[in-house]
Amino acid sequence: MKKTKRILAIIGVVLLVAMYASTLVFAFIDHTKSQGFLKASIACTILVPVLLYAYTMFYKLSHKDNSEDNDSMH
């Protein structure tokens, strides 16, 4: 399980770096569609980490009872 979490964390870091890089590139490109791409990139840069954090919080809260039940059985 730890190996899976580590791989997913590395994938998440790579995606965040790619989003930040694309935001920077779209900010410097002078094209008619680049303004829309820049707005979408900034939105994803903010929304994706917030949604991932909310998902992990929800997962921890929803599985908290299961881990307590397993500890009391052993």
- Classify burial at 41, counting beta carbons within 10 Å of its beta carbon; exposed 0-12, middle 13-18, buried 19 or more: buried
67 pLDDT more than 60: no
How many domains does the chain contain in total? Answer: 1
- pLDDT score, position 50: 87
Domain that holds residue 69: 2-73
pLDDT in tens, 23-66: 788 778 777 777 787 788 788 878 888 888 888 888 888 887 66
- pLDDT score, position 2: 80
Element holding 46 (H helix, E strand): helix 34-62
- pLDDT score, position 70: 53
Predicted model pTM:
0.56
